[in-house]
A and B are shown apart, each in its own frame.
Chain A
């Protein structure tokens, strides 16, 4: 600490100088903040202002900067000092823009600014310049698990970007489902006709690519390590095994078709004339250039009925509850197999909602003009009789029960079931009954389980809105139908994205930087093991499975797997986990730095711990829109609500704060939390804080949790003011003046 030299810079531009007393702020920074250097500038983000800071860094040997100006989210390019620890006091969005410019408000506005300067000074003195992750990994080869369209695309795209790829395919040939198709759905202009699958060319390209090595008839026996240094044991069917070093993994294990044998009401299995979509592809491939024949007797096909949503979108709880998204277009394509060969064949598609994402609408129109009949209805049963069937259905437009007789061929659109391995937290014996394949695919040696965690219905978890390619295992990316149901075109795009994400992960691991959402972050979790009580909370709660355990159940951090959310730091009851620039101390010091007026002042203090991803920007934007909120709040951004350690809450309460608002992202199945589980964990932890409050003889309202979205710039001020009213009602905290 002896070589720390601190400097505070007060910007008086953007109206800060007019609204606030800069002299007073400077005095606070100097006397209370104990800053070695305090400077003012009328336009700090100008080249002159930035030069002033640079000069001090060079000539004065400043190591720690506190900039009191705009929000930490503004002017990040001007205030970019990568070699210096820095904190920012938000005087613009957080104070002058969110407070009314009136004489009455002048005093509280100044107090707010004073506190933010105190907090900024306190924070920066506890910060260290992140040195970068020591857990480097330099493997730059991408492992692709699965040799279908998604896997092949990922390998080829990685190769095109200049990286080597290793492909492991379970079966004896490449191509997956796509290789079993007669043709694929139209995927380029004019989207009118089925197209060649192109699988043959793709396989040839793959096989002739010097960057790509293919291992067939093989599976992954074990995956160990972290991004940049995965060690993968590959077991080949013949019995041989090998271990390979890879930097990142794309899991493209695809899907299985939903088992049509579970649909006896549609006569599957009772007559060979009822097939699923895969079955029709087989018939079409067998027929080749000839017309498709009726399987039961080889008779001519004059009438085909396609049953959409067979065993899908089922709300009875028996079949798949979701829409697989590709099957409508597939049925359209298959109806064209018949219509293109012979327009006299009757083809009827019975659907409840025809869903053709992408440019499928043109394909749908094309089928209509080719004479494929589309009937909005729900099929209730298929009755076999001789070589023909009768398809009964409820016509949903005419609202009546009706039927199509003399149908030669019935095609069931049964949908996709992901091949996603074992879910996190699956009890081993329950796995056997599950719909998804219970066999582990990656066999990760991670403490939290052998495969990618799933969200719903067996599909792997990803932050659907912001980071769709991500999974909850850093450096491992799911691509294709294992992630969500999709068709070839979508899987191609998906796999391209996953390959690029894999490359990013390898490069980040090589440089010791964090992956998204804190891309480029050089800080990493540091644990002081001599204080650890082996409680395992961090290893269990880490949303990304970054922390393993050694034989004595001490945590073993794999920094390259870490996303830097700080959930472990929030979980740790003995507070031995910290980041260099974000720790129990950096936030704790800010909380303690605030000047809490006595209980007769009528000036309560409300601490707001706001998620830096959504809630803090929303508060900033509230300021930008001049949405006024209570002057009694003091906002501290946190990496994620999951990183909030209970000590901050008790510290704040013992310091005499009257209330604490925690603002994080939405959690649940449709979560918005950038760290997937952080806000959920925080709300679980906080649901138990009532006891603590009662023990401290405090009202339970004094700690409140809110779900705030980035778009809530109008709602957030309202929440703050409502909460301030609640505090006003229950009265000032009785704990003031004891700390």
Chain B
């Protein structure tokens, strides 16, 4: 994971001006971008519409206009909540949600995604938690999230959620012992092998050298 900027430079060198081409080849569902007809229904349908810097419509236009840096460094696609409203409404049937996630993931791989982006933080914590044992340890996941901004912030957050935690305990939905070891999947090593293979395939598709 150390050569992200190198990856970025490779991509830049390969596609030069054609960011659209790059997106088509390297971003999940990226070959749909050219089919956008700029009607703006996605922008109007987005539940988070006013909170994005760039609506999907604009992101697609920026891709065509070759605004590579602006798109990849944008936090807009990280704002997607996967409600699929845009996908349902798009008259051209573009998988907009998937493209947004594809773009976010691509930016992350290239190492140009915005830092301190809450969605990205959450995704990373979730991922690191999940791949360790092959299943999510909910207690640790929650605590990592609480303490991601420091000890004091974590304690404050934990205290504020105290009553809910107690209720979960009473309902036997939360086991404090999970903190120490927790459940694992049956073939942890197999999961790890599988993930490694998947990463290899993806890297190959995205043109990265091992």
- Nearest-Cβ distance from residue A372 to partner chain B, whole angstroms: 8
CB within 8 A of B61: which of A354, A368, A369, A397? A397
CA gap between A376 and B43 in the complex, in Å? 16
Is A371 touching B34 in the complex (CB atoms < 8 A)?
yes
A504 on the interface (CB 8 Å rule)? no
Q: Is A369 a contact of B34 with CB atoms below 8 Å?
A: yes
Q: Which residues of A contact B65 (CB under 8 A)?
A: 375, 395, 398, 402
A364 within 8 A of B: yes
Minimum distance in angstroms from A368 CB to a CB of chain B: 5
- Chain B residue numbers with a CB within 8 Å of A368 are 34-35, 37
Counting CB contacts under 8 A, is B45 at the interface?
Answer: no
Q: Is A490 an interface residue when CB atoms closer than 8 A count as contact?
A: no
Contacting residues, chain A, for B20 (C-beta < 8 A): 373
Q: Which residues of the partner chain B approach A373 to less than 8 Å between Cβ atoms?
A: 20, 34, 64
A374 touches B37 (CB 8 A): yes
Q: Is A39 an interface residue (CB 8 A)?
A: no
Interface assignment of A447: CB less than 8 Å from any CB of chain B: no
Q: CB of B199 within 8 A of chain A?
A: no
- With an 8 A cutoff between CB atoms, is B38 at the interface? yes
Tell yes or no: B191 within 8 A of A by CB: no
Would you give the 0/1 interface string for B145-175, flagging 1 where the beta carbon is closer than 8 Å to chain A? Answer: 0000000000000000000000000000000
Which single residue of chain A is at the shortest CB-CB distance from B70? A398
A398 closest partner in B (C-beta): B61
Tell me, yes or no, whether A365 is within 8 Å of chain B by CB. Answer: yes
Asked if B14 is an interface residue, CB under 8 A from chain A, the answer is no
Check if B58 is an interface residue, CB within 8 A of chain A.
yes
Overall SS of chain A's interface: mixed
> Given A354, A365, A376, A398, which contacts B92 in the complex, CB threshold below 8 Å?
A365
Alpha-carbon gap, A395 to B38, bound state (A): 12
Q: Find out whether the CB atom of B61 lies under 8 angstroms from the CB atom of A395.
A: yes
Q: Whose C-beta in chain B lies nearest to the C-beta of A348?
A: B64
Chain B 31-73 interface mask (CB, 8 Å, partner A; 1/0)? 0001101100000000000000000011001101101000000
Q: Give the CA-CA distance A213 to B61 in the complex, in Å.
A: 55
A374 to B67: give the CA distance in the assembly, Å: 15
In the complex where A365-B92, A373-B64, A402-B65 touch, is A397 in contact with B34 (Cβ < 8 A)? no
Bound complex: CA A376 to CA B57 (Å): 11
Cβ-defined contact, B38 with A374, below 8 A: yes
Chain B contacts for A402, CB-based, 8 A: 65
CB distance from B13 to the nearest CB of A (A): 18
Determine the residue in chain B with the shortest Cβ distance to A395: B65
A371 CA / B23 CA spacing, docked (Å) = 13
Closest Cβ–Cβ distance, residue B18 to chain A (whole Å)? 9
Residues of B within 8 A of A354 (CB): 37
Give A416 to B86 CA distance when docked, in angstroms: 38
CA distance A371 to B35 in the complex (A): 9
Distance in Å from the Cβ of B73 to the closest Cβ of chain A? 16
> B58 contacts which chain A residues (CB < 8 A)?
397-398
A364 B61 Cβ-Cβ under 8 A: no
Complex Cα gap A376–B62 (Å): 12
Across-interface contacts of B92 in A (CB, < 8 A) = 365
- CA separation between A365 and B92, bound complex, in Å? 9
As a 0/1 sequence over residues 368 to 386 of chain A, the CB contacts with chain B under 8 angstroms (1 = contact) are 1101011110000000000
Binary interface encoding of chain B residues 120-163 relative to chain A, with 1 for a CB under 8 A from any of its CBs, else 0 = 00000000000000000000000000000000000000000000
How far does the alpha carbon of A397 sit from the alpha carbon of B38 in the complex, in Å? 8
The distance in angstroms between the C-alpha atoms of A365 and B34, with both chains bound, is 9
In the assembled complex, which residues on chain B have CB atoms less than 8 Å from the CB atom of A398?
58, 61-62, 65, 67
* Closest 4 pairs between A and B when the two form their complex, measured CB to CB: A397-B61, A376-B38, A368-B35, A368-B34
5 A-B contacts (beta carbon < 8 Å): A354-B37, A364-B37, A375-B64, A395-B65, A397-B57
Interface residues of A (CB under 8 A from B): 354, 364-365, 368-369, 371, 373-376, 395, 397-398, 402
Residues of B that sit less than 8 Å from A by CB: 20, 34-35, 37-38, 57-58, 61-62, 64-65, 67, 92
Given A364-B37, A373-B20, A397-B57, 11 more A-B residue pairs with CB atoms under 8 Å apart are A365-B92, A368-B34, A368-B37, A373-B34, A374-B37, A374-B64, A375-B61, A375-B64, A397-B58, A398-B58, A398-B62
